[in-house]
Copies of this chain bind each other. A is one copy, B any other.
């Protein structure tokens, strides 16, 4: 890595921590460059403005997130040939990853962009939207595969279920941060797992007590 890219990466890492901790608006350039050990001119050499910083941070964040998803769901597929079981294993692993973060999940840059602290330009929002769309498409494909083998118990649109995954994670992050309780995110992922399990799982699920009449 060239010296330029190295500095750039350092700026991005510092900025991301600050943004997730305090928000984009509350993250001042002065503060970032102080920690990165360079001057304002140096900063603007790498990023022409704060928008470009946001854009670069988003791309970095999305790539890191993709790696996590690839990892957990890839390992799920290694551990079971059945797509449903593989997905359930992946979700369990994902919940574990979320729980293992020492200070809770740092937050979701996507949501941060969505609840725009300052006005981001169209490109930034487009990046956020398209990456979420990518995740949804990925989960949708998995769900299709599952549904082929395990017909769903309820008539739910699979696109919506795929969306639900992102919603739960984003919502769970907000809840965790708000309540200062990192475990809430883990629980939400596991609750989504229960949903998937019930939706596609065998009808002969254990039912502790006798069925009640509606």
A binding-site residues for B, Cβ under 8 Å: 22-26, 82, 84-85, 107, 110-112, 114-119, 125, 128-129, 132-133, 144, 147-161, 163-164, 166-172, 174-175, 177-180, 184, 187-188, 190-191, 194-195, 197-199, 201-205, 207-214
Contacts and interface: CB of A to CB of B under 8 A. Distances in A.
Contacts of A204: 211
Nearest to A128: B178
- Residues of A contacting B: mostly: helix
A26 B117 contact: yes
Contacts of A207: 151, 153, 203
Contact of A168 (B156, B157, B168): B168
A203 B114 CA distance: 40
Given A118-B25, A156-B191, A205-B154, A171 B166 contact: yes
Contacts of A208: 151-152, 155
A154 B198 contact: yes
A106 to B, nearest CB: 12
Contacts of A164: 168, 171, 188, 191
B178 A209 contact: no
Given A153-B207, A172-B167, A187-B157, A116 B214 contact: no
B117 A25 contact: yes
Given A22-B119, A112-B115, A157-B187, 8 more contacts: A23-B25, A25-B117, A115-B115, A115-B117, A125-B178, A151-B209, A155-B212, A158-B214
